Structures are given as structure tokens and as C-alpha cells.
Amino acid sequence: MSDLMRLPCASRRRRPTPLTPFLKRSLTKAMRKRPSTRMSDTSSDHGFDDVARNRAFAELARMSMPSTPIVHYHSDGRLLILAEDQAHGEALCSCVSGTLKPVLLVIDPDATACFELELMCVGRKTDVDLSGHLGDFVLAIRRETTSPPATSSPPRRFDLVMDALSRPLMSAERKPPGYYAVGAESMPNPAVLDEINALVGDFEKPQYYTYDPDICAHGRNGQSGCTRCLDACPAEAITSLSEKIAVNEKLCQGFGVCASACPTGAIAFNYPATADIHNRLKTLLSTYREAGGSHPQLLLIDQETAASLQIGEEGDWYLPTGILPIVLEEQGSLGLDTWLYALACGAASVAMLFSRSVPTSVQEELSTQIAVARRLMGALGYPENTIAALQPADITATGLNGVASMPAIAEAAFAIQDNKRLRITLSIDHLASQATVVPERVDLPDGAAFGRLDINTQGCTLCMSCVSVCPAKALADGGDVPALKFYQTNCVQCGLCESACPESVLTRVPEFVFDQELRRRTQVLNEEQPYHCIRCNKPFATYSMIQRITGQLAAHSMFQAPGALERLKMCEDCRVIAMMQDELE
């Protein structure tokens, strides 16, 4: 057991919490203690479902979890207090414990620039920049003056920040660990003060993610591609490094939506790993069925929502029979691949419970994936709303409002996969094998990570710029023949090929092809006969490329000399020879 203290258990808006992953043990105990819930009826079928649910959770509780790497923080208690009113700021200073070392920064229209040991006063026109996290916040102050240059004070470092400004200095949807936006109108509540006062010493949290830059589709050759993880992260813990991304492990608070949004699986949730989650899901559903349960409906709930609703505790909030509540570290950590896998393993439905604890950016990304899932399910003749997002009011005595159930299907038998796209396609293929209607393909909503490429062959010169940037090996050249080949099963719709194409002839079209043979077939998007060197007859380019180059340069002053344009029709070796001969003549 580590000697380090865990970060205090309060709002995830303020800190990362090392909570029990995937399933709360107290929930299992409560289910065993109360096999019949208040909200369920007492029919014999439901009685079997109660017993099956209890056995399934008991089996899940016996499964162990792999360990996760740890991220460490250290705080000496240096507290920066930001206030717009000096009296309010001084009152905040007086309410913190003696273990903290507060420094007050007052932003006041009438304040004059001055530095004291415990007090800093700056005017409204002062540029105040704050960055960092628990144990390492960096404050930089740049004062505007009537005559240039502007003056800057040396950066100062703090362990904690209490922001009492009407507009918080840090703008991330979910603030960093150690940062508390308490508002400008009143004193913070006692629980927040207790949490701040306790943040002195060494602390730890899990490292929630893994990252494989080799399969990241963020960028190639100076071109920008996929930005889904950056757009979705509510903590702004992810930054662009041109062709790759970087995750600040100290800012990451484990919301997990980066992993569910990633089309390639380059960034993956690791608390617990997706393979472990799928193994537990399969065990849960198979145990439930073996114990006589039927039509299991999965209800995914993040830890904070479960606590606020007292799910599995001694409170009065109970779930209808047949609903299997899965308490997650964070709602955003599971996405399309897990939902489809659960249905393939026999779940009747998968519902996510959204509440105020789920950040807006997380809900938006999950809603995009829900739209994709519903389009897939509807195309196969299944009810579209077997996958749904709910609010607490949607859970009633009769079940889950707005959620339909799958027909009974055979349980998927394929092995659990580490490859994210393979997990998705195997699940879809199994659902298609059990469906009564299977179209060749279905159009998907914008934002889907599956699709094809349309090409305007009249404008394409087969320059292969698109091939050189494709991170998923969905595009390839024709080898000895000028051709552009496409492997649709690999395409993640990242857009790098569109960005790199100098002729702008490529267009992404989101879709999924259910026909496995067609999906895996190599497509030739464009093909031409090679252009042969006019001197040695060696193939070295395409007709369209030579025509385009000569057409563009025909009027250029550098190509008015006799033979200049003709040299463009030669291979690189013959071009040099011709130039040397012209000089000798």
C-alpha cells in the first residue's frame, strides 16, 4: 500500500479520484442484501431476473483488476488567492488553515502596481496568465505602461489556487487539480475549504490513458488530420505537437472521452483497460443468462452520479428488475466499440445515464457515437434506441423510458480484441449475422470513423500525396502502374488525404459496408497508363501530370527557350543529359 495520500474525495471538477473501477463493490453487497427491489414487480420471471442479477454481480466482484501506473503530486501549501475586492480577498485568506501559505492577488481598477510578500495588486489592464496544476501552478504578470516597453514580473509558482473572480482565470470546462473557482459573491462552502486545507503533502492518482503515436491520425507531413481527442477533452489536457498529440498526465482527470473518440485506438483508457472491461462485461452477461435471467439491460453510470443518486447504498433509489447497473470511473471512457460488443454478447440494450457530473464536451462526443450506433442498428432491422442516453427522470418503476430491447440473438464467440476497429467490425459482423435484414452498406452521420473516399478522376494527377500522409494504410500506390488504391476497411475518415491533396479531388463519405468481402476488397480509385520518357522510353510519370505541368509552365519565361518544355517530358536522367548537351552546343 502506498504511503502517499489519495486526493480528497470531492467533485471531479476539481481533482482526479482513484475510485474503484467499473463496478462499485458496495453495489454488489446491496444487491445481495436486497434481491427484490422496491421498484420491480413480483412476477416469477422477474424473481429469476433478481437472482440472476445478484449472481452476475457476485461473480463480477470476484474478478481481480490489473494494477495501473500512478501519477504523483507534491504540495507545500503555497496558495494563490485571486480576488476583485481586497476585503473579500483578505477574508478568504483568513479562512484557510495555518498549514497553507496564502498570497493574495487583487485585480482592482484603482489598484497601483505594488509587490509585497503576501499581497499583489494589479490594475484591470494587467495581463495575468495562470497555467499548471496541483503542486505547480505558474503565475505570470505583464503590466501595461504608458510608454513602451511593457514590464513583466518574474513568474511565481504556487501549489494551489483559490479563484474568487467573477470570470475564472482558467477557462477549461473541468479545472485542473488544485484549482478552485469559488466565485466572487460569497465565501466558499466548508467542504471546499476543508478540501483545500487538506492539500498539503504528497498525493497520487492513476494514469488513466496509454498512447501509441505510431497509429495516431492527428497529422502527417505538416498536414492536420484528426482532432477528436483535443476537441472532446473537458480538462484541456491534450495538446497538438504538429503531427502527434501530447497528454499532460498531471492535467488528465480520467474523463476517458479521448479514448472513446479516437478512431484508431491510438489513445486508450487504462483504468481499467478496455480489454478488461470487455472481459467483465462478457462474464456479467453470461453469468446472468446461466442463472436464468433474460433481457439484461445495461445501465452505465459514472461514479459521481451513482453516489449522488445513492445507487447501491442505503438510500431509497432502486433500479427496476432486469437492469444491470455498471458503475464506471467516468461515462466517457466507454464508447461505440463497447456498446456494440455488449449487444453482441447478449445485452438487450445499453443506456448511458447523463447528469450534471458528465461534462458537456463528453456528452456531445457520446451523442455523436450514439447517432452512429443507431444508424447501424436501424440498418440491420434492430430498434435504433437499443443504445440511448438518459436523464435520471427516464428511470421509472417500469423500466427505462425511451429504450427498446434487442430480440434474442446468439452470443458472440469471437475472442476479445486489443485492436479497437477490429472490436467494432467483429461486433457489427456478429449482429449482422443474426439480423433478418442486411443491406450492402449504410450511410453514417458526420463524425463516423468509417467510410469511403470519392475522387474526381479528371483532376487527379496520381501524385500520391494522399498515400504519403495516410496513417491507417487505407491508401496505396499501384507499384509499377500509376494507380491509387483504397482499402475501405482501414479508412478512419481522418481527413489527412483531403488536406494533402493539391488538386482537392478527394471527398470523404462516412458509411459502413456490411458485406465483408466488399469491405475488404481493394478498390482502384484512379489508374492511368504511364507516361514514357521521350528519349529512353522509361515510364516515369502519368499523362495527366505531364499535361498539367507543361500547360502551367508553357507561358513561363524560363521555358521559352527551344527544347525547354520538351525536357519536362523526359525522365530525370535524360533531362540532365539533354541540359548538358544544350550547354555544349
Give pLDDT, residue 377. 98
Give pLDDT, residue 194. 94
User: What pLDDT band is residue 159 in, cutting at 50, 70 and 90?
Assistant: very high
Give pLDDT, residue 116. 45
Burial class of 45 by CB neighbour count within 10 A (0 to 12, 13 to 18, 19+): middle
pLDDT, tens digit, 9 for 90 and up, residues 447-461? 999 999 999 999 998
Distance in angstroms (rounded) separating the CA atoms of residues 106 and 482: 67
Mean pLDDT of 4-18: 38
pLDDT at 481 over 80: yes
Mean pLDDT of 298-310: 84
Cβ atoms 211, 258 nearer than 8 A: no
Give pLDDT, residue 434. 98
Q: Extract the C-alpha cell encoding 332.
A: 466517457
Percent above pLDDT 70 for the chain: 85
C-alpha distances (whole Å) from 146 to each of 125, 149, 150, 151, 527 are 11, 9, 8, 11, 66
Distance in angstroms (rounded) separating the CA atoms of residues 174 and 171: 8
pLDDT, tens digit, 9 for 90 and up, residues 12-52? 333 333 323 333 333 333 333 333 333 333 333 455 577 88
pLDDT at 153 over 70: no
Q: Extract the C-alpha cell encoding 483.
A: 494507380
Give pLDDT, residue 538. 87
pLDDT at 185 over 90: no
Mean pLDDT of 181-186: 88
Distance in angstroms (rounded) separating the CA atoms of residues 80 and 414: 55
Mean pLDDT of 511-515: 98
Give pLDDT, residue 48. 56
Q: Compute the half-sphere exposure of residue 102: CA atoms within 13 Å on the CB side of its CA.
A: 20
Cα radius of gyration rounded to whole Å, the chain: 30
Give pLDDT, residue 43. 38
Give pLDDT, residue 231. 97
Cβ atoms 462, 526 nearer than 8 A: yes
Give pLDDT, residue 311. 62
Stated as kind and residue range, the H or E segment containing 485 is strand 483-487
Give pLDDT, residue 127. 76
Give pLDDT, residue 10. 36
- The b-or-e profile of 556-575 (16+ CB within 10 A means b, else e) is eeebeeeebbebebbbeebb
pLDDT, tens digit, 9 for 90 and up, residues 72-130? 999 999 999 999 888 888 889 989 988 999 998 887 655 544 444 356 666 555 678 89
Give pLDDT, residue 61. 79
Give pLDDT, residue 448. 97
Domains of the chain: 20-67+275-434 (no CATH), 77-199 (3.50.50), 206-269 (3.30.70.20), 443-527 (3.30.70.3270), 530-584 (no CATH)
Mean pLDDT of 330-342: 96
Distance in angstroms (rounded) separating the CA atoms of residues 356 and 367: 15
Distance in angstroms (rounded) separating the CA atoms of residues 139 and 80: 9
pLDDT at 7 over 90: no
pLDDT at 137 over 50: yes
